[in-house]
Amino acid sequence: MRERSSAKVYLPSGKVAARYTRSGRTIDRWTRDPKLGFPKPIVIRGKRFWDEASLEQFERNCACAKVGVSEELSQPKTLGRFRSGNAQRAATCSSIQAAGRGPRAYRSGDDDA
């Protein structure tokens, strides 16, 4: 059995995009949106890397926000191409949950009902 090293694990932008089943451009937009709270990458030789622990914390925060999202926000209303900030966060957290990247307790399909 392998022990987990205390060294931080960094994921390149391609793996982050695959983790959330989104394009690199979407990850860029998430990074630039301060209201979303997506972790900022570190840049090494022009390449972006995200701390895996920060991504997991973001996922936990989204799962917690998902539980506290009001009924009104669970069905975001779009205004043309744009959504309000709260609706955008709810939609992003929903997409993360749908991709199965949130905490196990909140993943769909885990209940035995």
pLDDT at residue number 61: 86
* The two three-digit tokens of residue 107, written as one number: 């993943």
Return d(Cα 46, Cα 98) in angstroms, integer. Answer: 32
pLDDT at residue number 70: 44
Amino acid in the structure at residue 70: S
Give tens-digit pLDDT for 34-72: 988 999 999 999 999 999 999 999 998 887 776 665 444
Q: Decide if pLDDT at 99 tops 90.
A: no
The mean pLDDT of 2-15, rounded to a whole number, is 82
Backbone angles phi, psi at 21, to 5 degrees: 45, 50
Give tens-digit pLDDT for 14-31: 999 999 999 999 999 999
DSSP-derived letter for residue 48 is: E
Kindly provide the residue ranges of all beta strands, DSSP E only, lying in the chain, ordered along the sequence.
10-12, 42-44, 47-51, 78-79, 82-83
Q: pLDDT-derived band of residue 81, with 50, 70 and 90 as boundaries?
A: low
User: What is the model's pTM?
Assistant: 0.56
Q: List domains and CATH numbers for the chain.
A: 10-105 (1.10.1660)
